[in-house]
């Protein structure tokens, strides 16, 4: 099972390298970029910075809090200016002084993106975290930093809200930074 997931991630990760577009490029610019309503692909790295749960704060520098994600996404046009984006984010949580060297989990992250103007995009995603049994939502704001002929570099501020995994776990609100490339 783990080997199959690894192959899936590698295939999804290589696909954006050989194609083009991204969710922050204005819709009208990419209508003919891909057939069948496909707007593009993106990949990047996401770093949670801070999380708040039950009156406690956890920061990036804490060993038990630190993890890093590698988002891979495909974006589709809808009938309007709204885009549908399906993102998969494998997360890696390393442990420096432990018998367990690392943990992994997968976030399934479908959502809608709303291009605003001047390279800005607002979005909202549903979140289903396989491995931690959490669910929730993720609002985001995205800005294109550098635009090439067929690719963009973007920065995204995400504010994941999660429930679970236990009934009494409560709600966790976090803030994270996502840097990525879109094709």
Percent of the chain with pLDDT over 90: 59
CA count, 13 A, side-chain hemisphere, 26: 6
Fold of 2-182: Porin (2.40.160)
pTM of the model: 0.79
Q: Are strands 68-69 and 83-94 parallel, antiparallel or unpaired?
A: antiparallel
CA dihedral of residues 24, 27, 22, 51 (deg, nearest 10):
40
Beta carbons within 10 angstroms of residue 128's beta carbon: 13
92-148 pLDDT, tens digit per residue, is 999 877 788 899 999 999 999 999 988 899 999 999 999 899 999 999 999 999 999
Token pair 């995603």 in the structure block, residue: 125
């Amino acid at each position: 099972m783990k080997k199959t997931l690894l192959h899936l991630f590698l295939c999804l990760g290589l696909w954006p390298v050989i194609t083009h577009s991204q969710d922050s490029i204005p819709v009208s610019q990419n209508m003919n970029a891909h057939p069948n309503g496909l707007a593009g692909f993106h990949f990047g790295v996401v770093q949670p910075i801070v999380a708040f749960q039950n009156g406690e704060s956890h920061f990036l520098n804490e060993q038990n809090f630190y993890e890093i994600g590698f988002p891979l996404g495909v974006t589709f046009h809808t009938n309007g200016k709204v885009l549908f984006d399906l993102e998969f984010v494998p997360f890696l949580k390393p442990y420096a002084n432990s018998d367990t060297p690392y943990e992994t989990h997968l976030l399934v992250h479908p959502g809608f993106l709303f291009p605003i103007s001047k390279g800005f995009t607002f979005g909202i995603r549903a979140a289903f975290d396989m491995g931690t049994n959490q669910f929730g939502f993720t609002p985001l704001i995205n800005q294109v930093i550098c635009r090439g002929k067929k690719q963009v570099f973007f920065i995204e501020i995400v504010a994941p809200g999660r429930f679970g995994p236990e009934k009494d776990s409560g709600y966790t609100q976090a803030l994270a930074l996502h840097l990525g490339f879109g094709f």
